[in-house]
Amino acid sequence: MSSRFVSVIAIVCGVVLCRSAERPAFATDINKAAPQCQADFPEAMDLIMHENNGVHTAPQSTSFQWVTCSIPRSPLAANATSGSFYVDGDNLGGASTTCWVSSYDYTGVLLGSTSFTTSLPHYDMLLTLPVAQLGVWAYTSLTCALPANANGLLRGVTVVQ
């Protein structure tokens, strides 16, 4: 009787396996919040404010300040022709923000970059790099020139996988 029980269990397992095989697989985007971004230059370290919802310049900052954020990513799909990045943030009082995504080979060689500048109050910009500049071992980063006087908040970057 126990072997019958085992056989019934095997049948049930088989049916469950068949059903679970129906579940589709999805590629995973990666969201990176901007509070991890760092000032590019030591003299600007005290002029960059890190909030829970992003990064901006300090109110006493009289000029724009540079920040750079790492962009974690996975290798692109075998048939991909490009990789994309959404950059989100806000501008206050007509200020503008300039950002670009750079890609470096694992040897440190600059492969390419793509950029935008915007004065939209709320921006959600899509940047794209060709697959030849996003190899398996390439490192990508986001650099932004944030407006002075806390007039802009960089919220984060999303890698579209």
Partner 1 sequence: MKIPGVALGALVVAAGVSLYFHESGSTPTAPTIMQSASPAGDARVAQLTRQVEALQRSLSAVQSQLASQKQTSAPDRPAAAKDSPPPELDVATQRAQELERRRLYMAGVAAGFNNEKIDPAWATRVASRVSATFEGNEELRKRLRGVECRTQTCRVQMDEDDSVALSRQMPFLSLSLVDVLPSMSVDHIEQGNGHSTMILYMSSRAGAASGAGK
Question: Residues interacting with partner 1, by CB under 8 A?
Answer: 3-4, 6-22, 24-25, 40, 66, 77-79, 86, 98, 100, 102, 109-118, 120, 123-133, 135-137, 143, 145
Cα(111)–Cα(107) distance, rounded to whole angstroms?
A: 11
Nearest to 113 by CA among 87, 93, 91: 87
| Contact of 95 with 152, CB cutoff 8 Å | yes
CB of 118 or CB of 149, closer to partner 1: 118
CB of 24 or CB of 52, closer to partner 1: 24
CB of 60 or CB of 128, closer to partner 1: 128
| Contact of 67 with 40, CB cutoff 8 Å | yes
Q: Which three-class secondary structure state does DSSP give residue 127?
A: strand
CB of residue 27 vs partner 1: minimum separation in angstroms?
Answer: 12
Structure token digits, residue 6: 């085992």
Q: Other CB atoms closer than 10 Å to residue 140's CB: what's the count? A: 22
CB of 114 or CB of 149, closer to partner 1: 114
CB of residue 110 vs partner 1: minimum separation in angstroms?
Answer: 5
Cα(1)–Cα(137) distance, rounded to whole angstroms?
A: 57
